[in-house]
C-alpha cells in the first residue's frame, strides 16, 4: 500500500474476536481493520478467517505483548510468533505501546508506564532496533495514557519520543485520546504536547473512549480512565481536529475493547471521525486557496 493511499484511508476499526464471524460473513464497508496478534495466536480458526479478510481489507497489527520497555529484554519467542502472523497478513502498519506489560514471564493486563530518562531511552532504543530488525519493517510506538508522573523522569514524554525516533527510525502512533486523558490526569496542555511531537514521525492516530471517575485522593478532582468502553468524547475529537491539521490525514483507528457494542456502533464512531477529517481537509484547502 502506497503512502498516498494510506493517507486517503477513512477511519478503521479494531477487529475483536466477538465480531470476527460477522465481519467474515457480511464483509462490512470499513476502510481497514486493526488487530491484536495476541488475540489470534492461540486461535487457529480465527487466524484463518483473519488471513482471508486480509486479502480484502488493509490490516494493521497492534501488539500488546511485545514489552519494549521490559528490563529483562524482549520475549523473542513471542516476537517470532508475531512475525509468523505478520508474514501471513502483510499489514500496512505494525505498532505497539511505549510501556512494558510483562514481569518475570507473566503477562500483565495493564500496560505499565516507564520513567523517561537516559537509561530507559537506551533500553527502548535497543529493543526497538531488535523488533524492527526481526519484523523487517518500521514499528510505530504509541504514547501511553498516564495516571501518575514518574518522579524519576528527566525529560518530557514528547522529548523522549522524539529521541526514540531519532535513534531508531521508528515512527509514532499518536493516540489522541491518550493525550487528552494524560493531559487532564497530569495537568498539561494537550495542544502543546501535539506541537512538540516530531511532525514527520506520526503515521497513525488512535481514538478511544474513556471514563471520568472521582480521584480517590482528592474528592474535588477527577481522573480519566482509558477504558476503550464508550464512544469517543467530543473533546477528544476537537483535539483530533488539531492533530489532523498538524500531522496530516494519517490512518485513524477507533479503539473499543471492553463492553464491546455491535460492530455497527464501531462503524458509526468511524463515521464521526471521518466527518472531522472532511472538515479539516476542507478548511485547510480554503486556507491554502486564500493564501
Ligand atoms: Fe491506543
Grid coordinates representing 95? Answer: 505498532
Give me ligand 1 centre to Cα 286, in Å: 31
Grid coordinates representing 203? Answer: 503515521
Which among 223, 239, 232, 240 is positioned nearest to 270, based on CA atoms?
232
pLDDT at 50: 98
Host H or E run for residue 112? strand 106-112
Host H or E run for residue 213? strand 211-215
Give me ligand 1 centre to Cα 106, in Å: 22
Give me ligand 1 centre to Cα 208, in Å: 7
CB atoms < 10 A from the CB of 117, how many? Answer: 15
Give me ligand 1 centre to Cα 256, in Å: 9
Grid coordinates representing 62? Answer: 497492534
Angle between helices 263-290 and 17-26 in degrees, nearest 10 = 80
pLDDT at 142: 96
Give me ligand 1 centre to Cα 207, in Å: 7
Grid coordinates representing 274? Answer: 471521518
Which among 12, 159, 167 is positioned nearest to 93, based on CA atoms?
12
Host H or E run for residue 179? helix 176-186
Sites in the chain below the pLDDT cut of 50: 2-4, 107, 109
Which among 281, 264, 247 is positioned nearest to 176, based on CA atoms?
247
Which among 126, 145, 129 is positioned nearest to 190, based on CA atoms?
145
Protein residues placing their CB within 5 Å of the ion ligand 1: 175, 206
For residue 63, the SS3 value is coil
Domain ranges of the chain: 3-290
Which pTM was predicted?
A: 0.93
Q: What's the rounded Cα separation, in Å, for the pair 193 and 96?
A: 20
Give me ligand 1 centre to Cα 290, in Å: 36
Q: What's the rounded Cα separation, in Å, for the pair 86 and 60?
A: 9
CA dist 268 → 13, 25, 227 (Å)? 10, 19, 19
pLDDT at 220: 75
pLDDT at 102: 53
Count helices and strands in the chain by DSSP H and E runs: 11, 12
Q: Does domain 3-290 have CATH number 3.40.190.290?
A: no
pLDDT at 3: 47
pLDDT at 112: 67
Q: What's the rounded Cα separation, in Å, for the pair 161 and 171?
A: 9
For residue 69, the SS3 value is coil
Amino acid at each position: 500500500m502506497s503512502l498516498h493511499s494510506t493517507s486517503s484511508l477513512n477511519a478503521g476499526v479494531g477487529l475483536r474476536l466477538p465480531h470476527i464471524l460477522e465481519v467474515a460473513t457480511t464483509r462490512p464497508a470499513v476502510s481497514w481493520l486493526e488487530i491484536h496478534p495476541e488475540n489470534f495466536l492461540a486461535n487457529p480458526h480465527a487466524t484463518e478467517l483473519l488471513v482471508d479478510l486480509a486479502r480484502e481489507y488493509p490490516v494493521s497489527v497492534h501488539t500488546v505483548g511485545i514489552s519494549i520497555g521490559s528490563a529483562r529484554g524482549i520475549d523473542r519467542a513471542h516476537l517470532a510468533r508475531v512475525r509468523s502472523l505478520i508474514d501471513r497478513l502483510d499489514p500496512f502498519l505494525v505498532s505497539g505501546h511505549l510501556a512494558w506489560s510483562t514481569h518475570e514471564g507473566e503477562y500483565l493486563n495493564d500496560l505499565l508506564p516507564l520513567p523517561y530518562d537516559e537509561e530507559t531511552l537506551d533500553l527502548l532504543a535497543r529493543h526497538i532496533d531488535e523488533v524492527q530488525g526481526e519484523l523487517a519493517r518500521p514499528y510505530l510506538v504509541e504514547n501511553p495514557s498516564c495516571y501518575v508522573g514518574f518522579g524519576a523522569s528527566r525529560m518530557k514524554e514528547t522529548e523522549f519520543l522524539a529521541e526514540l525516533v531519532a535513534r531508531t527510525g521508528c515512527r509514532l502512533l499518536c493516540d489522541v485520546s491518550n493525550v487528552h486523558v494524560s493531559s487532564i490526569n497530569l495537568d498539561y496542555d494537550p495542544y502543546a504536547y501535539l506541537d512538540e511531537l516530531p511532525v514527520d514521525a506520526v503515521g497513525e492516530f488512535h481514538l478511544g473512549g474513556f471514563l471520568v471517575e472521582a480521584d480517590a485522593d482528592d474528592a474535588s478532582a477527577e481522573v480519566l480512565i482509558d477504558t476503550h468502553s464508550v464512544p469517543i468524547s467530543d473533546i477528544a475529537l476537537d483535539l483530533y481536529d488539531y492533530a489532523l491539521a498538524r500531522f496530516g490525514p494519517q490512518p485513524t483507528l477507533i479503539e473499543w475493547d471492553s463492553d464491546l457494542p455491535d460492530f455497527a456502533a464501531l462503524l458509526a464512531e468511524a463515521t464521526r471521525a471521518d466527518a472531522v477529517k472532511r472538515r479539516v481537509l476542507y478548511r485547510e484547502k480554503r486556507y491554502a486557496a486564500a493564501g
